[in-house]
Structure 1
Amino acid sequence: MNDSTPPLSTPTGPQGLGHESLGPDGPGHDDTGPQEAPVLSVRDLEVAYRTGKQSRVRALRGVSFDLYPESSLALVGESGCGKTTLGLALLRLLPTLGEITGGEVTYTGGDGRSRDVTAMSASQLRRWRWSEAAMVFQGAQNAFNPVLTIGQQMAETLKDHARGGIGRREILERSAEALRSVRLEPRRVLGSYPHELSGGMKQRALIATGLLLHPRLLVLDEPTTALDILTQRTVIDLLAELRAEYGFAMIFISHDLALAAELADRVITMYAGKVIETGSTQDIFTAPKHPYTSKLINAVPPVTGDLPELASIPGAPPSLATLPPGCAFAPRCELATEECVQSEPELITLTQRPADMTHAAACIHHDQVHHERKVIARA
C-alpha cells in the first residue's frame, strides 16, 4: 500500500546532510534572543534503572538544557546513549524499572505558569500529558493497539486527556481535523485498523494523535524508523509544516544526523548518558568541537554532492554499569591523553550566543578537533 502523499524534493545543506540553507545560527534563529521563558527547563536530570535488589545503572547523568517556544531541538547519538530515556523521563513515562533519581524538569505553559514535572501527582500528569506535552513513540506499528481502529484510539486519547467533558461529535471533529492536518483522509483512516494502513500512513496517524489537543511541546522518538527514504521525506516535510502552523516546541530524537540537520534549530550530542556537545545546527554540522560529534558526521553519507570517505567509529559505547574512568569516549578517541582518563570533562562554553544557541563541548582537546570530510576521487 502506497502513501497518499507524494514525496517532495530533498534540500541540501551543511556537509551535504540534507539541510536547507541556514542562517548564521541555524534555521529559525532569532538574533534578538529569547523573549519568553523556556517551555522546558531541565537541570541536572538523573535517571537510573534497577538491575537487581540493590543495583542501579545510571542512564542519565546530570543532563541540563532549555527549550524555548516554537524552537526545535535534536538529540543525537548512538543507540544506548540515553536519548530515548531522556525523552521518556521528560514526560514521566519511564518503564517500571526506571526512575528519576535527581534533578528538575520545569514546564512553563502559555499562561506563564511554571510547574515541576518531577513533582506532579498521577492525576496532574494525566491532565498535563497530551494537552500540554505529547510524545510520538518509536515504531507506529507497535504504538497502536492492533485490535482497535485508529478512530477508537484517537477517541480514547481525547476522553482521557481533554480538559472537561467532551462529546462524541467534538471527538469526531477533532480527530478528523488532526488527520487532515497530516494529509490523511478521515473517512478512510478513522475506521481502519493499524494493519490496514501503510507504514507512512500509520506514522502520520500517530503524529495526528499526538497533536489532537494542540500541545505546546511535542517529543518525537525516531519518527521515521523503518520507513523507506521517500516516506521519510514526506514525514520530515510534514513535521516542518506542522511546527510552522501550530507553533509547538519540538524535541526530535534520532541517530540519523541528516534528519536532525533538517528539523533542528539546535543539536545536543549525547554519549554514555551525558550531554557532550550542544550548539546551533550550523555550529554542530560545520564546526563540531567534540571528536565524537565529528566522527558521527563523518560516518553519514551525504544526500547530494560529492561522495566523501566514510569512517566508522572504532570500538563500541561503554556499558553504563562499568563506565571507564574520566572521559567515557576516551577509549575510542584518537585525541585522548592521560589527562582525559583522570577526570570526566565538563561542558566548556566555546561561543556565547543569544536564543540559547551557546556552543559548548565536554572535551579538553576541543581546539584540536578539525572537522573535515575527505572526498573520494571519481573515475
Structure 2
Amino acid sequence: MSPAPTGRRQPAPSADPHTPTVHEAEAKQETGWVGGWSTGAQANSTALLRWLVWALIALGPLLGTLAYLSVPTTSPAPAPKNTPSTPAASGGQGAAGFASLFLAAYLSAGRGDEPELAAYYPPAGNLQLDGVSGRRRGEQLTVVRLRQIDTSVWSVTVAARVTGATPSATPSMQPGASSSPATTTGALRYFQVPVATAPGGGGATAYTALALPAEVAAPERATTPELVYGAMHPALPTDPRTQAVTSFLTAYLTKAGAELDRYLAPGTRLTAPSPAPYAGIAVDQFAAEGESGGELVVSVPGDGTTLRLLVTLRATGRDGVRLPLTYALTLKARADRWEIASLDGAPALTPPPPAPVASGTPGPATTPTS
C-alpha cells in the first residue's frame, strides 16, 4: 500500500553537485552571508576602518610635527642691508684726501689737462686752461680746516706751498680771462674745496667736487690758552730739577735709551728714539707748575710729590747744527731726588674757573663774629 501524498512537493535533486541546495541557502541566510560577504566580517571591517580613521586623526598633529622636523634646516637669507642715504661723519677724512688730490691736480694743470680735472669736477672738461702743464706745482699740501656744511657736503681748506708760479704761467679757468697778478714763488697759500659724498659700490663712499677750488685767507690763529706753568727761568745746574731733566733727556736723545730706566719713576715705561738723533743736549730754561720764577731751589720735597715742568733745550745734531726743542714733563719725588713720571703729550692747561653761583643759591654758611 503506497503512502498517501502529503501535498508538499519534494525538490528535484540538482544535477550540479556545486549548486547549493535549498537547505544550504537557508543555512547561509541564517549565518548572515550577503552577496558573498558575511555580515559579521563586514561589521568587523567597518569597525577596523573607523578605528583607523580615528587613529589617523589622533596622529595627525604628531605626523605633521615629524614632517616639519624632517625638513632640512636651511639658514635664513640675510635681510638686505639698507644702504644709508647719507655717509657717516667719518666720510670727512675721505673728503679731505679727495680735496688734496684735486688741488694738487688743479695747481699743476695747464693746456690739455682739462680731462684730468674732470675726473674730480666733471664740468672742468668744458674749461679752456692756459699755461704750460706742470710749470707750477703745489707742495706740502695739508688740510688745515674741515667743516661739514650739509649732511653730505664738506668744505675742505687745504694749505699748499705753490712753487714755480709766475705771471705768465698763471692759468685762466675761463676763455678770455686775464692773467692774475704776480705770485711769490714758494708762498704758502690756502684753497677751499667743496666736496660732496654719496654711497658708492661695495659699501664704499664716493666723492665729487662741487666747484673749482677757491683761494681764501689763512685760517684765524687761536689765542694761546693759559698754561699751569710759571715764567720761564734759567735752568741752574744746582737745581735738582735741572739735574733730573738733563740726565733723562741726555739718555733719551743721545744714548738711544741706554740707562734710561734709572731716571724713571717706578711703573713708568718710555721708549727712546733709535738710533739716537743727537750728539748732545743743553737744557736752557724751564717753567715749573705754580712757580712765579726766580726762586732758588736746592732741595727735594717729600716722597710722592709731583711737579709738572715745561723744559726748553738745544739739541746738537750729528751735523753740528743745534735745534731748539721743548718737552712737557711730570716729575715725582722719591728718596731725595726727582724722577721722570711721564713724558706728557702737551703742556698742561690751566683749569677753567668755577661757574659763578646762580642768584638765589645759598652760599656757604658763615659764623657771625661778635
Please tell me the TM-score bracket, short chain as reference: under 0.3
If asked which structure has higher relative contact order (CA below 8 Å, sep 6+), I would say 1
Q: Answer 1 or 2: which has greater helix percent.
A: 1
Larger Rg: 2
Q: Which structure features the higher share of strand residues?
A: 2
